[in-house]
Structure 1
Amino acid sequence: MTTATWNGTVIAESDDIVTVEGNAYFPRESVREDVLRPSSTHTTCPWKGEASYLTLEVDGQTNPDAAWYYPQPKAAAEEITGRVAFWRGVEVG
C-alpha cells in the first residue's frame, strides 16, 4: 500500500499506483477530497498535456499547488487519466 502524507495526515492511499517520471499517480478516488482545494494554476508538458493543480488544506494549514492531475492527458500519457500526483513536501511511500 502506498500512501501520501502531509502535515501528519494521510491524504491518499492505494495499492494501484502508476509511476511516471518518478512521480506516483494515485487514483482520484483514493485521494481525500476534503483536503483538496481548487487552484487556478496550470502548466503544460509536451508529452502529457496540460496539468491542473490542487492546493492541500490540512488542520488549517495550506500547501499551494501541492497536487496535480491531467484532466485530458495526451495519448502518450493515457495511463494517468483520473490520477493525482503530489510534491512540495508531501511524503509518498
Structure 2
Amino acid sequence: MKAVLNGTVLAEADKDDLIQIEGNWYFPPSSVDTSKLEKSPTEYTCPWKGEAQYFNVVDGGTTVQDQAWSYPHPKEGSPERVGQDFADYVAFWKDVSVEE
C-alpha cells in the first residue's frame, strides 16, 4: 500500500505490515519517507492511545499542515487493545490518499 500526496509517495509497505486502527492505516516507521515530514506543534491526546505527534507534510515548496501523526509512546494497554505495538507507526489524514 502507498500513502500519496500530489503524486509524491510518502510511505509504502505491504498491506500485511500495516495496522488499521479506527479506520486509519498506520504505516511502519521504516516504510515512511521522513524527509517529507516535519514535526508539528499541534497537540492531541487520545483517551486510549495516548499523546500523538503530528507532522506537516513537506513536498518541495509546499507544506500541508497536520497531515500525518503517530503515537511515539502509546498509552499502557493500548497495544494489547490493537493486537500489536503501534509505537511510531504513521497514519495520514484526508489530503493524503492511501491506496493499494
TM exceeds 0.5? yes
Return the offset for 1:38: 1.4
Q: Could you report, residue by residue, the CA deviation over 1:5-63 in whole angstroms, capped at 9, with x for unpaired residues?
A: 00110110011100000000001111001111111112011110111101000121111
Corresponding letter in the other structure for 2:61: G
The offset of 1:75, in angstroms, is 3.0
Question: Alignment partner of 1:71: what SS?
Answer: coil
Q: In the TM superposition, what is the alpha-carbon distance from 1:77 to its structure 2 partner?
A: 2.6
Alignment size in residue pairs: 92
Q: Name the counterpart of 2:22.
A: 21
Residue aligned with 1:74, SS: coil
Q: How do residues 1-93 of structure 1 correspond to structure 2 at under 5 angstroms?
A: 2-15=1-14, 16-78=17-79, 79-93=85-99
Superposed CA RMSD: 1.1
What is the TM-score when the length of structure 1 is the normalising length? Answer: 0.92
What is the alpha-carbon distance in structure 2 between the residues aligned to residue 77 and residue 83 of structure 1?
Answer: 13
Q: Which consecutive residues of structure 2, in runs of 5 or more, have no partner in the other structure?
A: 80-84
Percent identity, please: 48
Partner Cα separation in structure 2 for residue 29 and residue 77 of structure 1: 21
Bigger proportion of residues as strand: 1
The residue type equivalent to 2:59 in the other structure is V
Distance 2:22 2:50 in 1: 14
TM-score, length-normalised on structure 2?
0.86
SS across alignment from 1:82: coil
